[in-house]
Structure 1
């Protein structure tokens, strides 16, 4: 009997006969940036993998040079008299509904979830790694959460998981000081399980996942539940609070101004690059 695999615009889904499912960021021309549609489709993909009986182990990875560059940034809507700050918070909450649901689904994901970081990871692409059971990375991958630069705040349960995994000082360097970490640095902290060679990286991770898919699925699910149950309620609560604070931040004048400056600078750099290319 054929398995119904959702057709998505921003992700590619695969289900191998071995029982390994792949959720692949598939906007390589946009560095796998996360649009509003991408958040909704990631949610649909993770729900499909959780509920699909044939999917025993799931890999999340990226197509192209990036794992994911995080949230796609666009010009924010300014606060006006007809659109006050309370309205903006409500709009931000509505926009983050899929994000909250996605994080909840990752917290509750019942089967083995492996992240295969094939290149740079930014923002939400980094925080959600801590919700995976195992993280593998290529040697050249980098990891950054530029939340302070943009006026955001911690999300993806990173306010709880990052200090626990990598220690308070390094977690605060990442979350509060905009420091970019290498794969080697995060492997030392235990955030990354193993660094694998870039050549043949996907095949290597696929083999590891295939080997795990041969194990008893019920044993895997039972053991994962034992591991996750100790923190499940805390993680769900942290996610709820983080999303609330993030909605407030994104509706603030401070955040809107920082986003405007960031997007304007990015547009100027793009224009300069196009001018330079046209002269060649």
Structure 2
């Protein structure tokens, strides 16, 4: 029986005969940055994997040098001419896919394995705590630069990071924007195992394939038992984080930080282009 696999622009979906489904970040030229379309397609992909009867185990991994560079920061869009719509309402509406994506990750009923194939930033890091198993290459780095952008914790990281890493290490990431290594996160249990960079993708698939041979019902039952303990709490934390994040994103200091970041990125790109033209 053929399986209908969605065709997406920012992700590639695969379903192997073994029962392993792959969700692959597929914007390598943009370091797998998360655009508004990427959030919507990630939501579509995770819903497909959850509801596909043939998918027993799901692997989330990146293509290229990065796992994901996090949210794609662009110049803030102008306000609509409709006076009935305020900026906060607009931001909340546009972030609804992100809110729903975190809900889907909290409620994902099957085994979810993440292969961190390179640097991970922002939302790409926070959502790792919602996966069941995280594998990483040795050279991967992990950073949540929320304070630098005037944002706040998201992806349930405000609750899960201190629990997994311990309060001090979690606060280094969330409150101080410290970049941590795969080795540091393996030691505190955030990363389950570091695998060699060579043939990393194949090694992650091997682990997933082995797990896919087990009883799907047994995996789902055990995962439900584990997640039910925290499910309501995590759903509430997600809603609170997203509400506070919307507040932060419309704050003058956050808008100023984003504008500064985008301007610096554009200047850097222009200088690189000029240098390349001189060669």
Alpha-carbon offset, residue 178 of structure 1: 1.0
Matches within 5 A, 1:104-115: 104-115=103-114
SS in 2 for 1:177: coil
Q: Distance in 1 between matches of 2:41 and 2:82?
A: 32
Q: Distance in 2 between matches of 1:190 and 1:175?
A: 17
Q: What is the aligned partner in structure 2 of residue 100 from structure 1?
A: 99
Q: What is the aligned partner in structure 2 of residue 62 from structure 1?
A: 62
Q: What is the aligned partner in structure 2 of residue 35 from structure 1?
A: 35
Q: Distance in 2 between matches of 1:263 and 1:83?
A: 27
Q: What is the aligned partner in structure 1 of residue 133 from structure 2?
A: 134
The alignment status of 1:122 with 2:121, answered yes or no, reads yes
- Alpha carbons of 1:279 and 1:83: their partners in 2 closer, same or farther (altered >3 Å)? farther
Q: Which runs of 5+ in 1 are unaligned?
A: none
Alpha-carbon offset, residue 78 of structure 1: 6.2
Deviates more, 1:73-82 or 1:100-109: 73-82
SS in 1 for 2:153: coil
Q: What is the aligned partner in structure 2 of residue 17 from structure 1?
A: 17
Deviations 1:87-128 (A, max 9, x none): 111011001100000000000000000000000000000000
Alpha-carbon offset, residue 3 of structure 1: 0.4
TM-score scaled by structure 2?
Answer: 0.97
SS in 1 for 2:113: strand
Matches within 5 A, 1:221-260: 221-260=220-259
How many pairs are equivalent? 279
SS in 2 for 1:7: coil
SS in 1 for 2:67: coil
The alignment status of 1:44 with 2:44, answered yes or no, reads yes
Alpha-carbon offset, residue 241 of structure 1: 0.2
The answer as to whether partners of 1:56 and 1:217 remain within 8 angstroms in 2 is yes
Q: CA RMSD in A?
A: 1.4
Deviations 1:50-73 (A, max 9, x none): 000000000000011110000000
The alignment status of 1:7 with 2:10, answered yes or no, reads no
Alpha-carbon offset, residue 251 of structure 1: 1.0
Q: Which runs of 5+ in 2 are unaligned?
A: none
> Which 4+ runs in 1 deviate beyond 6 A?
78-84
Q: Distance in 2 between matches of 1:158 and 1:118?
A: 21
Alpha-carbon offset, residue 252 of structure 1: 1.1
The answer as to whether partners of 1:152 and 1:246 remain within 8 angstroms in 2 is yes
Q: Distance in 2 between matches of 1:101 and 1:38?
A: 13
SS in 1 for 2:22: strand
- Alpha carbons of 1:83 and 1:156: their partners in 2 closer, same or farther (altered >3 Å)? farther
Q: Distance in 1 between matches of 2:82 and 2:228?
A: 45
Q: What is the aligned partner in structure 1 of residue 207 from structure 2?
A: 208
Alpha-carbon offset, residue 81 of structure 1: 10
Q: Distance in 2 between matches of 1:78 and 1:172?
A: 34
Q: Distance in 2 between matches of 1:45 and 1:100?
A: 15
Deviations 1:179-237 (A, max 9, x none): 00010000001000000000011111101100000000000000000000000000000
Alpha-carbon offset, residue 77 of structure 1: 3.6
Alpha-carbon offset, residue 82 of structure 1: 7.6
Q: Distance in 2 between matches of 1:142 and 1:46?
A: 24
Alpha-carbon offset, residue 171 of structure 1: 0.5
Q: What is the aligned partner in structure 2 of residue 169 from structure 1?
A: 168
Alpha-carbon offset, residue 79 of structure 1: 7.0
